[in-house]
């Protein structure tokens, strides 16, 4: 089977990344980094995973031209200047170059009707790109739920309630799910073009989707790529995303 035949049968799914400085023998080497679990998950559901390096904002349009679907991966905090707020002291590491590439990539993808899914930071990227904002820090001792779990991300730590009028509920057929949680930020103002699909017990927005039914947008505060091997609901989430990307046999 040639390269062209392979592309006809499997959707190309881009996965965003960051730049990680790795020291080798005393020399710092900037490296492209994304969690390998995304790569494994895309392969598991029948897609071709390609990692999208941070280069510049101009490359975003070219990424949208070659991908059948895009996963906006986890990582650094989004710089609050992107939603016109000053940084709070609780703000953690940001990456301006990554923001500058990923925020327009959301818009280019939607212009081309490319399905997008965001997890953790990726949820925030989608919301901010579409005009929403973020709570820069939500972790306090008074919270009902610790959203920055101390156990592995491969284990769930709290429940989410799925709205029965959501597309997510129609896809999964369940009104609750167990999820993992490794974040200190969350959606504050929801973008006008999105609607809430799931929430945690403390009201934290855990999943969003497009109001426009012709667009496939799935933003998740949790990490299905870490849970799919042991949880049918998480595997089905990923499969529905892959199906939206097309090229099913």
Q: Which residues are catalytic?
A: 120, 223, 225
Place of tokens 């709070």: 88
Tokens of 227: 């849970």
d(CA 195, CA 58): 29
Query: What residues contact 196, with CB distance under 8 A and at least 6 apart?
Result: 163, 166, 190, 205, 207, 208
Which SS3 state, helix, strand or coil, does residue 196 take? Answer: strand
**In whole angstroms, what separates CA 162 from the centre of its chain?**
18
Which residues have CB under 8 Å from 14's CB, separation 6+?
50, 51, 52, 63, 66, 67, 69, 70, 71
CA distance 234 to 100: 30
User: E strands of the chain, at which residues?
Assistant: 12-16, 18-24, 27-33, 48-52, 69-72, 116-119, 134-135, 158-162, 176-179, 186-187, 194-200, 205-210, 217-220
Angle subtended at Cα 249 by Cα 43 and Cα 48, rounded to the nearest 5 degrees: 25
């Amino acid at each position: 089977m040639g390269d062209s035949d392979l592309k006809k049968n499997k959707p190309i799914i881009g996965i965003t990344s960051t730049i990680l400085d790795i020291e080798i023998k005393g020399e710092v080497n900037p490296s492209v980094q994304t969690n390998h679990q995304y790569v494994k998950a895309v392969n598991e559901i029948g897609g071709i995973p390609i990692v999208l390096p941070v280069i510049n904002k101009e490359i975003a349009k070219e990424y949208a031209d070659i991908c059948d679907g895009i996963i906006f991966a986890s990582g650094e905090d989004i710089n609050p200047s992107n939603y016109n707020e000053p940084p709070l002291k609780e703000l953690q590491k940001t990456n301006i170059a990554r923001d500058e590439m990923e925020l327009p990539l959301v818009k280019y993808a939607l212009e081309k009707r490319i399905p997008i899914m965001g997890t953790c930071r990726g949820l925030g990227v989608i919301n901010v790109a579409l005009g929403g904002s973020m709570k820069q820090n939500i972790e306090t001792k008074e919270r009902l739920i610790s959203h920055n779990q101390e156990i592995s991300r491969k284990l769930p730590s709290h429940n989410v309630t799925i709205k029965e009028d959501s597309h997510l509920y129609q896809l999964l057929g369940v009104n609750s799910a167990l999820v993992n949680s490794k974040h200190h930020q969350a959606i504050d103002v929801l973008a006008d073009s999105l609607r809430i699909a799931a929430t945690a017990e403390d009201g934290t927005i855990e999943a969003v989707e497009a109001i426009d039914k012709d667009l496939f947008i799935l933003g998740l505060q949790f990490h299905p790529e870490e849970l799919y091997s042991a949880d049918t609901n998480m595997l089905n989430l990923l499969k529905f995303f892959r199906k939206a990307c097309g090229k099913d046999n």
